[in-house]
Amino acid sequence: MVKKNFTRKSLSNKINKILGFSKNLSANLIDDFFDILIKELTKTNKVKISSFGTFKIRNKKARIGRNPKTKIETQIAPRKVVTFKPSHLLKEKINTK
């Protein structure tokens, strides 16, 4: 079985078919949505979308990591990561058939 990723293009095609927007407008809508999401996330460190979930920026500390192939230890720099916590409604929709 071949797994197919759901991409921005797939999403814009769905919007095109369901809502009847042009492909160009659908693609621009998706790009603008993600741009706004990223800007708000970097500005406020948290974005909550009702009935969907919460995106949050989390700081990770520096740590020692090990290359599993060579077994050489190296320092992993501190960084920020994005976490997602789904809403209860989303969890229910996913787990019911």
For residue 73, tell me if it sits in a domain: yes
CATH number reported for the structural domain that contains residue 94 in this entry: 4.10.520.10
Give the structural domain span for 70. Answer: 45-97
pLDDT on residue 13: 92
- The predicted model scores a pTM of 0.79
Selection from 48, 68, 66 nearest residue 56 by Cα: 48
Same domain, 66 and 90: yes
In a domain, 18, yes or no: yes
Contact residues for 6 (Cβ-Cβ < 8 A; gap 6+): none
pLDDT recorded at residue 14: 94
Residue type, 90: L
Distance CA 74, CA 71 (A): 10
Q: Is 11 helix (H, G, I), strand (E, B) or coil?
A: helix
pLDDT band at 2 (very low <50, low <70, confident <90, very high): confident
